[in-house]
Structure formats: structure tokens, C-alpha cells
Amino acid sequence: MSTTHGRRCAGFVVRAFVLMTVADAAQVPADFGVVVEEVAAGSPAEKAGLRTGDRLLTYDGKPLVSPATLQAAVENTFGKDTVSVRLRRSGALSTFTVSQGRFRADVRPEFSSDVLSGYADGRASLQAQKKEDAISRWMAAARTAQAAGDGVGAAWLYRTVGELHERERRWEEARGAYAAAWTVLGGGSDAASQSRVLSGLGRCSRNLNDLPASDRWFRQAWQVDAAAGYEAWAATDLSELGSTASARGDLAAAEDFDGRALAIRARLAPDSLAVAASLNNLGADAEARGDLARAQDHHLRALSIRERLAPDSLEIAWNLNNLGNVAWARSELATAQDYHKRALAIRERLAPDSLDVAASFNNLAGIASMRGELGAAEESHRRALAIKERLAPDSLTLATSLNNIGGVVQERGDLDAAQSYYSRALAIRERLAPGSLAVASTLNNLGNVLRSRGDLEAAQTYHSRALAIRERLAPNSLLVAASLNNVGVIARSRGDLAAAHDYQSRSLALKERLAPDSLDVAASLTNLSSIAQDRGDLPAAQGYESRALAIRERLAPDSLFLAESLTNLGTIAESRGAFAPAQDYYGRALAIRERLAPGSLAVAESLTNLGNVARARGDLAAARDYHARSLAIHEQIAPDALAAAESLANVADLAFRERRFIDARTLFARAVTIVEAQRRQIGSADARALLLARHSDPYRGLVRTAVALDDLAAAFAISERGRARSLVELLAERPLDFRAEAPAELLALQASLDQERSAAYGGLTTTATELIKTRTSLSRLDPNDGRVPASRQSIQRLEQQMEALRGDVARIVVQQREVETRMRQASPRLAMLQYPAPLDLKQAQELLDTGTLALAYVVDDEQTYLFAVTRTDARVVRLTVGGAQLSEKTRLFRQLVARERLGNAAEAGRQLYDILVRPAQDLVDHAQRLLIIPDGPLHVLPFAAMVSRPAPALRYLIEDKPLHTVFSMTVYAETRTAARSPRPRTQPRRLLAFGDPVYTKGQPDAATPADTETASLRKRGLDLGPLPQSRQEVEAIVRLFGTSAAAKLGPQATETAAKRETRDVDILHFAVHGWIDEEIGLSSGLALSQPEAVGRVPTAEDNGLLQAWEIFERVRLNADLVVLSACQTGLGQELRGEGLIGLTRAFLYAGARSVVVSLWDVSDPATAAYMTAFYGELRKGASKDVALQRAMIAVSRNPRCRHPFFWAPFILVGDWQ
């Protein structure tokens, strides 16, 4: 949420090269001087006898060659009560004495008659409120004066137009007018006019977010003023340089500039309003650094001066505003509210319904929000919005209010409304200030909304765009540190803890340099603590959080920030099982939050934490009380938020533990309703999958409760409701070809973006690989090694390249989504599409073939549920193993299998069989085949290698029954329904096989953008060595199928052929290298012949890599079977409730009824033997599951391949027939 600060209170337009001194006066033409246009009634000038039409010649002996020289003389003369003014009136010279500093007369240059006529006409238009006409006439008059050689008159008119544009906040037009004035003045000797124009250029550039230009202009103004002896103006230039440094986040520079400005002002005019302005600025600098005590001191000193010299003024209101913000930062919300209410009272009296009043409403709304009073917060924001819509419609300040209202409704859990407000703010900011820091701020907020919705890819996109803007406009600033923090939070949400730690460490480094020992530093330490907790490194987590606590206790004792550290220390203690210290930390945090923000979501968080500790200690009564109080807050403030669903699930879990199963079921169901309502608001299927994965607890709770109530049908239906929902929806959309109904320009744009995306991915992976390599090399160097500095510079350069490339990828993904959305909107059939509902138990039983036993697992935290279902029977069994224990057993078993340790692997396989299958042994014995529906860690478990009988002779499950796997019964139904009927056995199956692809031996000398990803994969360890056995494998398969089979070998095994020649085949076989991207499953793929290896130039359409995202978007099949005879093609990004996102899902979506994939890499000869046996059985008429079973058994009979390492990695996903 944006607060409204009063950092700068510079007066009206401060306008800046080359000098003129008193000695030059003798050389000034006889007609020099400035003409008095108007004298303020009762002013010292009127009392001294000045009249309209007088020509002023000197002020305190200084010649007046332009209006700016008079302003310079008045504002830079100190130590005198009165000064003399020499003038010419009706041809006669006179001298007057006036009070210094309070002249109050408007002057202009002497004009020729034609220029004067245009100026007068413009002045009349301005008085008639015809501003545009006035500007037009003055610009014409300025051009006339410039053409006649009247530089003084032309520059003054251009500058006057610039000031008028500035008052209207038309920064670009103002900058253009000032630039025209600078063109006239740049080579002249009127230092005062040059100073004012340079200052105007600096202000406009800052407001246009061109901070480097702003800094350049103000430095030039300072040089002019310092050389001319304009000390007061030089102090103002330093103050403006401080503002620009503050805007780019360079707080050290800001404080230095402001300190120098204060020193000048205190010397020239101690205890003056100018001194108060500098103190105000230094207070803002200290607040930004987190030094709240110093900030408060500066603001109080400024307030004291202003109360004496300008009592009951708008300046007083700004000081009260700033003191309110300091109290706010300290979490002294009552004090903050009092300051802001006093500021509001002054503003409503002196400037009713003004933008200053709107600023006060904005700040009061922020305080109400922190207190959890979201209704009051929204009301105050709307009052501010109403003022801005009237006074500044379609403006940047209006965008700020939209941004703030978005923050409030986001806290309420209305993510749709929040996204709408932020999008409106972004539209205004991108139009009025494209590529600005304001745009970056809104992108940041949109990223936070999308992260809350579980759309991590889109959130990453927005945060990366914000980071790119901030690095360009404010490099190495606190703003960059904030964006690095946000990108790090996304990385942590995705489970990429290494990247998250890297981003947070970079953010911390910037903060420690720019704002050491500040609250910002404490925030980064807290984030690093959370990452260490995720890694299980509790000592490191404790260390980070203890440092954060020390900072917060010093800078913001007894604050909401301190409560955050106490909360995190409680979490660490709870993770250690130290429940007493955890309860103490949580209790202290709750006490602070209840005092400072009663009834807020922060209080709800503390209550939840205390409830969890009480539950762990077995005090269910206390746990129930805490969680009920937390839920009451959530339901009052944000009843539709995902946090409310989590709170409902906590209360439901307690009801379950107390055996109040009906209550538990009701509460869990309410939580599921919230999750699904939020899920429906997300357009991206992958984002919907992520959200469901992060909020699967209510579904598992409902399963647990239904089982306890002996409601088998309900338990099964809920388990199905939480499985692979996004894949079901994708499969339902599959028949709709959005491209067929899309306009040609969208298709062209999509093709262009695809090419850009491919190139960007390539560059990103190459740079990432080089970065890893350089970091590894650095870690091996002695700290005193002379190569260390160069390595660190290389790392910094590569990191900058990574961020730029991430920004490119983010931009492309956003544009692709926009194009996809527009295509979907153009599809009338999508609007009529009804997504399939999850199958209930009866429907699932009807789907199962006779003889099939479905073993569907739901892995909960403390136990696992096995649903054993046939066409005629169904049961559910509680298995006494929870998620963490099952993950460890699965990991150990896979490790043993991969290491070829037969004895240990067999024992681990026996234990897993006893846990997962033996409880349904009677049904297994009577089944013809097993259908495995895994959950969580079971997706990567090789069920075939589990040991059903250890003695007298070792027997594996695959020897007992053929197996196939599906992600859910609903997915199984959809793939069977959507795919065409299998070809009659009397007709030959059409087979197309790819093998023996041609790879280059190394990276080509000049990699093109399209082939950089191939080079990167090599560096990451993908061995693109020759696969001679794959040619034999493919040729053997083709011989089995005779004339109905075709092969793409060597140079013909291309990505283009895989995309264009596979639509109408029955069986599609790939005997090529493959790779798995465990972080981004859709980046996984198959490596076909590299274009450069066969004499062709790589392109975005064919770089030799067929990736999962391309299969989703570009490949359509009618295949009965796809076989991926490549390493680990069955793995991918695992999402709880969704399964593996990777090649398997991609080919199912493309139209395959079944996919054979591998869970680990197997030697090329063993794979060839296995595939030959598999296809031989298919050719004999065996079903796919039986053919797979017989192939495994045949390979295991080979004495050299007995170990399951050689035969157990392959699984059949989809239909068994």
C-alpha cells in the first residue's frame, strides 16, 4: 500500500549557467531591465512606491537583465533588512529602498511590439481560464522573439509555458518548453535564467522517472548557482539532488545532499522555514533507512520551526503527516492516527477537498488497514479516490488511489477485485509514465496477487518486469532490493530454495550497503531464516532471525515488526519440538498484535500458531479456542480468502480429533468451497494446478472424515475431486482448436512470440549454466587468490544477464498468455464447454474393465488411505504411514535400485509392498491387472519392483499382475472418451519410430539463439552421445510391424518430423535422449537430430529439442500408444494433487491414449532388448499392460539384467488395452 510522505516541500517553481556580476553592468545596453507588471497590494514594493510599468534596473546593486536575475537577487541576499532598487520611470532614473526578501511584484522582460501583443493576448486568455489558448499564443510569441534575436524574452516565455504545464502536471510538455528555453540560454551569460530552466528540466525528468537525466540537470544547476554565488539556490539544488537520489533508492547519497543543503541554510538563515524543509527531508531519509528515532527528531525540529514561523499552515500539516508516518512505521498506530487526523483537520480547513486532503485520507486508510479495520480503510481510500477523480481524473495520483484500494480488497481476499484495481492503475501508469518506477510498483502488486492465487509463473513474470525497470532506472537501489526479495519469495514458493537464497542474499547485500542495520535489513534476514527453515537448517534459521530481532528491538521496540520476528522464532522452536519456547514467542507476538492491531489478520496468525502448539501438546480445548478465535477474525475481515480456508481446515481438524466428524465434514467442505471458488478465477491450467497443490489439506481432511464416518462413496469422490483437475480440464478443451477460429494477426503474433520464447529459454539456460560453473570455480579458489576479484565480477555480470533474460522470458510469457486469452475469447465453442465433473465411486466402477483392480492412494500427513476398487467391490484401508515417512521409504528404495544392490533393494521393496499392497491382498489375488493411481511420492515409485514374496524364491509384483497407471479416474475416463477407438486387431497398426539421432560432438563455434539451449543442456550434464543401439532397436521394431511401420533414423529423426508427421499413426516410438526439468516440468523434452549436425540452421521451429510446452501447443495425435525410450521421461515437476507435470501429461493432452515412460536412465543395450520384447508381445496381440509385464519378465530372466534397475523403470500411463 502506498503511503503519502512529505519529503519535499520546495516552494513554487524553482527555476538555472554562465555568470553576470556587478562589474558587467557598465556594459549592459541602455534599455536593459525588467518591466513591473503587477504590484501586490500592501506589499513592501507598493509601500516603497513601485508602480506598474516601472523598469527595474538593479536590485541591491545587481543588474537585472531578466526576471530571473531579480528572483536570484531577492532569494540569495541575506544579512540585510533593506536594499536599494534602481529603476527608470518615464525616462527618469530613481532609487527606492525596500524590505529585503518580501518584494512581491510580478515582472517580465521588455518586449518588442509584436511579441508584446502576443504575450498580452495570452495573458488575457489565461485570465479567462483558456489555458491552452494562452500556451499557444505564448509559444508563438516566444518563437517570434527568438527569431528576432531576443533571447531574454524568448527564454522567459518558454519558461513561463513550462511552469504552466508543471502546475497542470503535464511533465512531458513542461520538459519540452524548458528544453526550448535551454536551447536559447545555453551559450549565454544569464546565470539566473539558466539556473531556473535547468531546475525545471530536473523536476520534469524526475516526475517522468528519468532519474539519470534529473540528476544530470540538477547537478548542472548546482554548478551554475555555486559559481554565481546563489547560495540559497545552490542549497535548493542539493535538496533536489537528494530527492532524486531518494527516488532511485540511494539513501546514503540522499542524506549527504540533504545534509549539505541544511548546512548552507542553517548558516544563511538559521531556524528558518528553509531549515525546516531540510530537516523534513533528512527525516524522510532517516525513515527510509529505518532509523525511526532520528527521523522523529528531525521532523519534531522542523515542526517546532514551522509552528513558530508559519502556525496553522499547510506546512504544519505536512510535518504532522510525516510524524504520523514515523509512528506508523513503529507500529504506534494510535499515535500515528492522531497525527494524521490533526493533519487532515488543517487541510480540510485551509484546502478543503484538495489533493492534500486526499493524501490524509490515504494515510488514515493505511493505519485502519493495519488494525484490521478493512471497512474503514476502504471507505477512506474511496473518499481520497473521489477527490482525485474530480481534481485529477485519469492521473498518476488517481492511479495511486486505485493501487491502494486494490491493497485493501486483496487483504479481504477478493483477489478478482484487487487484480482489477491494480490493472486499472497499471493502465494509467503505463500510458502516462511508461517504463517508470510507478509502473514497477503496480507490477509488483499484481505479482503479489497472482502469487496469492497460486499462479506462480505469472507472478514471476510481473516481478521480473518490475525488477527490470528498477534495475534500469534505479540500479543497486533499495527498490531493486525489494524486487529481488519478491522474486526470491516466488522461488521459495516454487520450492527452488537455492534460487530463493540467492535472491534474498543479493537483496540483503544491497540493503546492508544502503541502509545498514535498518528494518529493511531485518526483513531480508527474516526471509533468509524462512528459507533455512525450509531446508531443515534450524541453527541457520535461528541465527538469521536473532539478528533480525536485535535490529527490530533497537529500532522498533514493541512493534508489529518485532512481533514478526517473535513469530518466526516461535516457528523455529516449534519445528524443533520445543513447544514451551514456541508458545512463549507466539504469546509475546500475540500480545503486541492485540494491542497495536486488535482484530487484524496478524492477530489471527498468532492465534493460529498458538492453536497449532496447543494441538501438538495435546491440549485440544486450548487449541480449539485459539483456532475458533482466529477463524472468527478471518470470517469477519476476509471470509473468501485462502487464509480463511486454512483456518477452517484447522478448526475442522480439531473437530476430527475430538471425533466430532459431522462438524469436521461441514468445516472441511466450507474450506474446499473457498479453494475451488478461488481456483475458478484463474485462467491458466498450470496456475490452477499450483493453487490446488498448495491448498490440498481440506480435500485430504474431507477424505479422512468421510472414512471415519464409513462413507466410502464420499471419501472416494473427494479423493477424485482433488486429483489432476487441471489435466482433466485441459483434456476437455483439447478438441477446441482456438487457432482455427483466431484472426490471422493473432496467429502471426503467436508464431513470433514462440520464436522469441525459444531463443530466450536458450539464452537463459546457457547463462545459468555458465553462472553455476563460475560459482563452482570461485568456491574452489583460496580467498587470497588473485583470480577471485575477476571471478566475482564475472558472477555479477552473469547475474545481471540472468535478470535481463528473465525479464525477456517474463515479457514473452505475459504476451503469449494475452494472445491465448484473445484466441479463447474468439472461440464460441469454449463458452459452451462444460468441464467434466470428477467421477464418483459408482461411475469409477462402471469405467473399470472386468478383472481390473484400481489401487488409489491418498497420502496424508499422518497416514495414507488406500482405495481398492473393482467393478463390483470397493473398500478403503488406512495405512499406518504418513507423507514424510513414505517419501523417505520411496527415496531409499529408488536409491537402492539405482545402485544395483539387490539384497537391500529387495528388502526395501518387500516393506513397501507390505505397506501399500498387502492390505488388499485378497482383491489383488483375484484381479487380472492392477491400475495404480498414485499420490505424492508414489508418482515416482516403481511398483513393478516391489517384492510380493521374498522366499523361498524372490518374486516381484510385476510377475504377479500386469500394471498400468493413471493420474485420476476422471483423467482415465477423459482419455478413453476423447480418443478414437482402437484399431481393430485385424488391421495392421501404423507405427512411426524415431532413433539414432545425429548429435554434434560439442558446442558449435557460433551458436545461434535457437541452439543455445542444446549447448546449455550439454553443460548441465546431458550426454548427447551417439545412440547406435537405438538404430538397432528401431530397425528391429520396424521389422516386427512390416509394411505398416516407418522409421525416422539419423538425419531424418528431426523435430520437424515429430511435429508434422505423427498425427495419424497408431504407435509413436522415440529412441532418443531425453531430459527432465524438475523445476519447470514443461521445459522437459526429447533431443532429436540437431540441425547443425545435419547441415541445417537451427530455428525456433526446429532446434532439435521437442519440449513439453511445444507438445501441448503444437502436437496433435491420434495415437493409441506413445513410447518414450529415453531417460527419466516419466519424471517431472511434482505437484500434490496433480501428479507429474512433464512429458507424460503433454503427450496425453496431445491425444495419446497411453504413454510408456521411464523413471530413470537405463543403459542403451538393456533398453533395446526390453523394447524389442515389448513390441514382440504387442505384435502377437497382447494388451499393452501384458506386453509390458512380459517384457519385464523376459529381461529379468537374463542373468546380466536380473536387477530391477534394468527392467523396472518403465511404466504404462493410461489405457491398458
pLDDT at residue 740, as a whole number: 58
DSSP state of 990: P
d(CA 907, CA 909): 5
Q: CB–CB of 453/694 below 8 Å?
A: no
d(CA 461, CA 575): 33
Cell of 87: 529603476
Angle of helix 314-329 versus helix 273-289 axis, rounded to 10: 20
Length of the chain: 1217
Burial of 793 (0-12, 13-18, 19+ CB in 10 A): exposed
Radius of gyration of the chain (CA): 37
Nearest to 1177 by CA among 1190, 1196, 1166: 1190
Burial of 163 (0-12, 13-18, 19+ CB in 10 A): middle
CATH fit for domain 984-1211, picks 3.40.50.720, 3.40.50.1460, 3.40.50.880, 2.60.120.380: 3.40.50.1460
Q: CB–CB of 616/574 below 8 Å?
A: yes
pLDDT at residue 853, as a whole number: 96
Nearest to 875 by CA among 710, 987, 662: 710
The DSSP bridge partners found for residue 1213 are 965, 1155
The DSSP bridge partners found for residue 929 are 852
CB contact set of 1131 (below 8 Å; sequence gap of 6+): 940, 1076, 1078, 1084, 1140, 1142, 1159
Cell of 19: 555568470
Torsion angles phi and psi, residue 697, rounded to 5:
-55, -45
| C-alpha separations of 525 from 497, 509, 965 in Å | 15, 11, 45
Helix (H) / strand (E) containing 919: none
Nearest to 285 by CA among 316, 314, 250: 250
d(CA 343, CA 360): 7
Fold topology of 738-831? Helix Hairpins (1.10.287)
d(CA 630, CA 984): 61
Helix (H) / strand (E) containing 793: helix 788-825
Q: Give residue limits of the domains in the chain.
A: 32-109, 738-831, 849-961, 984-1211
DSSP state of 836: P
Reduced to 3 states, what is the DSSP secondary structure of residue 125? Answer: helix
Residue type, 884: A
pLDDT at residue 1137, as a whole number: 38
Cell of 914: 507390505
Cβ neighbours, 10 Å, residue 1198: 12
How many secondary structure helices (H) and strands (E) does the chain include?
Answer: 51, 24
Question: How far from the centroid of its chain's Cα atoms is residue 1049's Cα?
Answer: 44
d(CA 568, CA 544): 10
CB contact set of 1092 (below 8 Å; sequence gap of 6+): 1000, 1004, 1011, 1098
The DSSP bridge partners found for residue 98 are 83
d(CA 1144, CA 1132): 9
Strands 947-949 and 955-956: antiparallel
Strands 82-89 and 55-59: antiparallel
d(CA 393, CA 1082): 44
pLDDT at residue 1100, as a whole number: 67
Instruction: Return the exposure string of 127-136: e unless at least 16 CB atoms fall within 10 Å of the residue's CB, then b.
Output: eeeeeeebbb
Cell of 917: 499392497
Terminal CA-to-CA distance of the chain, rounded, Å?
Answer: 58
Q: CB–CB of 1104/1088 below 8 Å?
A: yes
Fold topology of 32-109? Pdz3 Domain (2.30.42)
The DSSP bridge partners found for residue 932 are 855, 965
Nearest to 1140 by CA among 491, 699, 757, 686: 686
**Mean pLDDT in runs of 10 for the chain (1217 residues)?**
43 26 39 86 80 92 94 91 90 86 83 94 93 94 94 95 91 93 89 96 88 92 96 96 85 91 95 94 86 90 94 92 88 88 94 92 87 82 92 87 89 80 91 84 90 74 87 82 90 75 90 84 94 90 94 84 92 94 95 85 92 94 95 85 90 94 95 84 63 82 94 92 68 58 72 73 67 75 82 80 66 63 58 68 94 94 94 94 90 80 78 95 95 89 92 90 92 72 61 89 42 48 71 90 91 90 90 71 78 77 81 84 73 42 78 88 76 90 94 90 87 91
Cβ neighbours, 10 Å, residue 873: 12
| C-alpha separations of 984 from 501, 988, 1087, 1121 in Å | 56, 8, 33, 15
pLDDT at residue 721, as a whole number: 84
Nearest to 1214 by CA among 1136, 1127, 1117: 1117
Cell of 272: 528558518
d(CA 95, CA 520): 59
Torsion angles phi and psi, residue 1020, rounded to 5:
-80, -5
